[in-house]
Amino acid sequence: MNITYDPDADAAYISIADNIVEEHVHHTVEVPFSPNDENSYVNVDFSQNGNVLGIEILDASSHLDPHVIASAQPIHN
């Protein structure tokens, strides 16, 4: 498992599978996770056979412990 963080997008990605490339993602499901904030959701990426590949957390700095973000591998677009 690996966690990356894009500070420009304030998005974190938790990779469950190793070496995920866009071609491995068969479909993505948007899952709301905060009843008080309609814009709070995660995107869960699935493989063709239904395995979870990774989870994207948007507005990550509002939803993750700062230590998690600090220890994540930074990425920049």
pLDDT band at 32 (very low <50, low <70, confident <90, very high): confident
pLDDT at 21 > cutoff 80: no
pLDDT for position 22: 67
CA distance 29 to 36: 20
Instruction: Provide the number of structural domains found in the chain.
Output: 1
Kindly report the pTM of this predicted structure: 0.84
Q: What is the pLDDT of residue 37?
A: 73
- Residue 44: per-residue pLDDT: 95
Whether residue 20 contacts residue 53, with contact meaning beta carbons closer than 8 Å, is answered with: yes
Which pair of tokens denotes residue 11? 């998005």
21: phi then psi, degrees, rounded to nearest 5: -125, 155
| Mean pLDDT in residue range 19-33 | 81
Full residue range of the structural domain in which residue 28 is found: 2-74
What tokens were used for 72? 């994540």
pLDDT at 40: 75
